[in-house]
């Protein structure tokens, strides 16, 4: 890549004595892995800026799976995520690292990601709505299209008090069975609108996104989720992430 583009660090790990192997989420090329040579050296200009949640301008070169980072400059200070919000930020970073294909354009998702981080940085209360909206946006960009507003069996609009059971690759079908895969029409309307006015709709959104993301994540648990459980008490709605 010759020109500069906006990016965020999703994850970085030491590589050799002075370098870093970094996963970036970039505006035009999506998830890119770069080798930041000498980034851990004492006098490196990269040492302070290759941190998660810092808006960057970056350039890299190379044709292999791992590119060589040429330049990285912070656009502004890191978004101030602390406490619960920090764990939530780590969660969405790990989510992107796990589900996005390498070097695939997700430019619209890049701005959903930025918006989610800005919401987390500004929040003084529960972060669940911001996380659920981001997860639903991510599923949409992955090609996971679901009609929340119509019964997959009859094609009729969902009714607020009717129960619908989710069936993978089919959608929501009216059912008298009430279990972890069932949702009311009211909950489905909230999912479609990405608006969660109460704890009931938030819990439903969390159930659905967990269910829908599971095939993309495989059997490996999310490390950020485990950290969250260890250090952050559960919220009444069942946990932020």
Domain ranges, residue 124: 83-231
Question: Is residue 86 exposed (0-12), middle (13-18) or buried (19+ Cβ within 10 Å)?
Answer: buried
pLDDT truncated to tens, each residue of the chain (241 aa)? 568 999 999 999 999 889 999 999 999 999 999 999 999 888 888 878 999 999 999 999 998 999 999 999 999 989 999 988 999 999 999 999 999 999 999 999 999 999 999 999 997 678 999 999 999 999 999 988 889 999 998 999 999 999 999 988 889 999 998 999 999 999 999 999 999 999 999 999 999 999 999 888 887 777 777 666 666 555 444 456 6
- CATH number of 101's domain: 1.20.1440.120
Same domain? For 89 and 197 the reply is: yes
Same domain? For 61 and 95 the reply is: no
Tell me the two tokens of residue 62: 């190379």
User: What is the total count of domains within the chain?
Assistant: 2
Residue 230's SS3 state is helix
Distance CA(201)–CA(212), nearest Å, equals 16
- In the prediction, which pLDDT does 3 show? 80
Instruction: Map 34-64 to HEC letters.
Output: EEECCCCCCCCCCCCCCCECCCEEEEEECCC
Same domain? For 118 and 173 the reply is: yes
Same domain? For 47 and 92 the reply is: no
Q: What pLDDT, in 10s, does the model give residues 94-130? A: 999 999 999 999 999 999 999 999 999 997 678 999 9
């Amino acid at each position: 890549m010759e020109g500069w583009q906006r990016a965020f660090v999703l994850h970085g790990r030491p590589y050799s004595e002075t370098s870093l192997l970094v996963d970036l989420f970039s505006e035009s090329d999506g998830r890119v892995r770069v080798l930041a040579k000498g980034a851990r050296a004492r006098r490196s200009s990269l040492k302070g800026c290759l941190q998660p949640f810092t808006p960057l301008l970056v350039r890299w070169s190379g044709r292999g799976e791992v590119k060589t980072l040429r330049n990285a400059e912070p656009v502004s200070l890191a978004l101030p995520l602390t406490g619960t919000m920090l764990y939530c930020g780590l969660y969405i970073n790990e989510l992107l690292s796990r589900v996005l294909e390498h070097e695939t354009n997700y430019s619209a998702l890049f701005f959903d990601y930025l918006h989610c981080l800005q919401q987390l940085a500004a929040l003084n209360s529960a972060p669940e709505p911001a996380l659920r909206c981001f997860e639903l946006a991510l599923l949409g960009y992955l090609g996971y299209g679901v009609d929340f507003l119509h019964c997959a069996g009859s094609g009729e609009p969902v009714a607020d008090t009717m129960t619908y059971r989710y069936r993978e690759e089919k959608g929501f079908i009216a059912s008298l069975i009430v279990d972890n895969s069932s949702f009311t029409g009211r909950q489905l309307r909230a999912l479609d609108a990405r608006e969660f006015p109460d704890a009931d709709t938030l819990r439903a959104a969390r159930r659905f996104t967990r269910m829908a993301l599971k095939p993309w994540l495989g059997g490996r648990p999310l490390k950020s989720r485990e950290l969250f459980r260890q250090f952050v008490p559960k919220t009444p709605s069942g946990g932020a992430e």
